Amino acid sequence: MAKLILSMDGLVLKEYTLGKERTTIGRKPHNDIQIDNLAVSGEHAVIVTILNDSFLEDLGSTNGTLVNGQPVKKHFLQNNDVVELGKYKLKYLAEATGPAKAADFEKTMVLRPGAMKAFAPAAAPAHAAPGAPAAAAKPAAAGAVAAGVAAGALAAGAAAGTPAAKPTGEAPSAPAPAAAPAPRIGVLQVLTGGNAGKELELVKPLTRLGKPGVQVAVITRRPQGYFITHVEGANFPVLNGKTVDAQAHPLNDHDIIELAGVKMEFFFKT
């Protein structure tokens, strides 16, 4: 479960777990997180937690709420966000998910209408959940979601041979095309024809070469490097004097490509 660390002037005061659907913050004693300071409004802000996502909302406080130095009305909390109310700071720590857990958790699960309420009050009803009609499809999965971890429910899946995530080392939900360490940028220089001398940096994941309908090839940029593949046309591209087949071919520094009557050189930018 996600946590909030309350601190002032760099001094940690208290730690809170976001176990409830609504966690209120304010000066008055009925708040879940009470901060007894006049700069904090009676009902200052609320954090709404839905499964693993938490949303911070300012409740029209007098002095406002900052997240990472920016005033916010409503904010989708991300790991390590710092919420400021007056001189007080609340650091938001999302639940640490190891690679194995992450892989398990990504398993798709069904959420039934009406099941949300069952999830909200922390892990308490989790044990009562199996078989309960309001819970998600897999009896065990309901407990898992309520508890905020999928490990238990999907242990079966893991035992069945789901490998504990190969070391891809990727941050979750980072669809950036190039994940390789410091990828080198390839460049294509036209050697013959009307565009001779022109250079093209291959920064996109895909670069199309040739004339549509006549002969087209594509250079793909991957973490492993650059590859050339034939796309359409009766003639296949020629790489260093050899005609390539339908497969993708890796490009090396100073390879010569011939396509639709034009010669080009591929090299890595230094």
Partner 1 sequence: MNLSEALEIAAATDPGMVRSHNEDSIAADPSKGLVVLADGMGGYNAGEVASGMATTVITTELQHVLEEHAPYDIDEQSGQRLAQKLIAAQIAKANTSIYQASQSQPQYAGMGTTLVVALFYDNRVTIAHIGDSRLYLLRDGEFKQVTKDHSLLQEQIDSGMLTREQARHSANKNLVTRALGIDATVEPEIHDYDTRPGDIYLLCSDGLCDMVSDEDIEMVLQTLGANLKLCVQQLIQMANDNGGRDNVSVMLVRVRREYPAPRGLAKLFGWLK
Whether the Cβ atoms of residue 216 and residue 208 lie closer than 8 Å to each other: yes
Q: Which of 6, 33, 85, 154 binds partner 1 (CB under 8 A)?
A: 154
- Classified as helix, coil or strand, 71 is strand
Stretch that binds partner 1, among 7-15, 161-169, 234-242, 258-266 (CB under 8 A): 161-169
- Using the minimum distance from each CB to partner 1, give the nearer residue, 42 or 223: 223
- Classified as helix, coil or strand, 229 is strand
- Is residue 179 near partner 1 by the rule CB under 8 A? yes
CA distance 54 to 47: 6
Nearest-CA neighbor of 56 among 42, 46, 68? 46
- Is residue 137 near partner 1 by the rule CB under 8 A? yes
- Using the minimum distance from each CB to partner 1, give the nearer residue, 94 or 187: 94
- Using the minimum distance from each CB to partner 1, give the nearer residue, 42 or 98: 98
One-letter amino acid for residue 97 of the chain = T
Nearest-CA neighbor of 219 among 210, 208, 231, 211? 208
Stretch that binds partner 1, among 60-68, 82-90, 102-110, 261-269 (CB under 8 A): 102-110
- Is residue 103 near partner 1 by the rule CB under 8 A? yes
Whether the Cβ atoms of residue 235 and residue 217 lie closer than 8 Å to each other: no
Stretch that binds partner 1, among 12-20, 27-35, 52-60, 80-88 (CB under 8 A): 52-60
DSSP state of 237: P
Q: Which of 28, 91, 107, 263 binds partner 1 (CB under 8 A)?
A: 107
Could you tell me the maximum CA-CA distance found in the chain, to the nearest angstrom? Answer: 80
Whether the Cβ atoms of residue 231 and residue 217 lie closer than 8 Å to each other: yes
- DSSP-derived secondary structure for 121-159: STTGGGGG-TT-TTS-SSHHHHHHHHHT--TTTTHHHHH
- Using the minimum distance from each CB to partner 1, give the nearer residue, 34 or 225: 225
Q: Please give the size of the binding site for partner 1, defined by CB under 8 A.
A: 55
Task: Determine whether 268 is exposed, middle or buried from the number of CB atoms within 10 Å of its CB (0-12, 13-18, 19+).
Answer: middle
Stretch that binds partner 1, among 39-47, 121-129, 158-166, 234-242 (CB under 8 A): 158-166
Task: Write out the binding residues for partner 1, residues 181-240 only, by CB under 8 A.
Answer: 204-208, 212, 216, 218, 220, 222-223, 229, 231-232
Residue ranges binding partner 1 (CB under 8 A)? 50-53, 55, 76, 78, 94, 103, 105-113, 137-139, 141, 145, 154, 156-157, 160-163, 165-166, 168, 170, 172-177, 179, 204-208, 212, 216, 218, 220, 222-223, 229, 231-232
